[in-house]
Amino acid sequence: MQPKDTTDNEAFKGFTNHECPFMPCHKGVKREFNCLFCYCPLIAYECPGPYKVFIDANGMRRKDCSGCNLPHNGIKQSWNFIQKWLEQPVLWDGKPQTRFQVDLPEEAIPDYRPRTP
């Protein structure tokens, strides 16, 4: 049992920093903005986000996550999303995003995802 399992208080799942000068740092967030994952825990792992790949000054392949709002779109939703993808993390291989359909809980389905016909 983890500490989070001993309480009904879900404040640990996130917060909104209304005083942040960069708010809103990502467009398209329609739910309560979650600032907890400002530095996304999935940056080094496979994820379903719409990142673009770029080469940094040291020649390293990096994710440009400026078009992703998954870690921010709703306090509980973004918490659930991050927890799900950290259950069995897979190191990112540096390749471009090709994932279009992912198995997310209903409450964590992002708005940007293309729908299948």
> Does 47 interact with ligand SF4 (rule: CB under 6 A)?
yes
In the complex, minimum distance from the CB of residue 69 to ligand SF4, in angstroms, rounded to a whole number: 8
Per the DSSP assignment, residues forming a β-bridge with 73 are 33
45 to 20, 32, 42, 48: CA distances (angstroms) = 27, 25, 5, 10
| From 8-16, 27-35, 54-62, 66-74, span contacting ligand SF4 (CB under 6 A) | 66-74
Query: How does DSSP classify residue 70?
Result: T
Q: Which residue number is nearest to ligand SF4 in terms of Cβ?
A: 49
CA–CA separation, 7 vs 37, rounded Å?
Answer: 21
Which residue ranges make up the site for ligand SF4 (CB under 6 A)?
40, 42-43, 47, 49, 51, 63, 65, 68, 70-71
